[in-house]
């Protein structure tokens, strides 16, 4: 997986690319997704179709993916007291 761009543009757009053998659901590897910051990730995931379980890609950030109406959606909970600047 390759990630670039989030903190490097005025729109907060992040580009993600995946190797064919990357261990991610095909829906995430092959479809664009949108991300939302939430206050309580655990509560937001209740009753949802979770396709990537909560994980921490960097300090202070917990992310998970759900599938909603055939679209991958990324949900992020950020602790800004320890997350790197620009997140």
Q: How far apart are the first and last CA of the chain?
A: 19
- Report d(CA 40, CA 48) in Å as an integer: 14
- Count of the separate structural domains present in the chain: 1
Residue 85 lies in a domain: no
Contact status, residue 14 vs residue 37, Cβ threshold 8 Å: no
Domain ranges, residue 71: 2-78
Residue 63 lies in a domain: yes
pTM of the model: 0.86
**What's CA 31's distance to the chain center, in Å?**
13
**Secondary structure element (H or E) that encloses residue 2, with its range:** strand 2-4
- Residue 23: both structure tokens together: 């261990």
Residue 21 lies in a domain: yes
- Residue 13: both structure tokens together: 């757009």
- Give percent of the chain with pLDDT exceeding 70: 93
pLDDT at 48 exceeding the cut of 70: yes
Q: How confident is the model at residue 10 (pLDDT cuts 50, 70, 90)?
A: confident
């Amino acid at each position: 997986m390759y990630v670039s761009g989030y903190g490097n543009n005025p729109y907060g757009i992040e580009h993600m690319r995946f190797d064919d053998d990357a261990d991610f659901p095909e829906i995430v590897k092959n479809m664009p997704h949108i991300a939302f910051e939430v206050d309580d990730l655990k509560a937001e995931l209740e009753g949802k179709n979770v396709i990537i379980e909560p994980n921490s890609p960097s300090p202070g950030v917990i992310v998970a993916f759900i599938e909603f109406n055939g679209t991958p959606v990324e949900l992020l909970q950020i602790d800004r007291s320890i997350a790197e600047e620009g997140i």
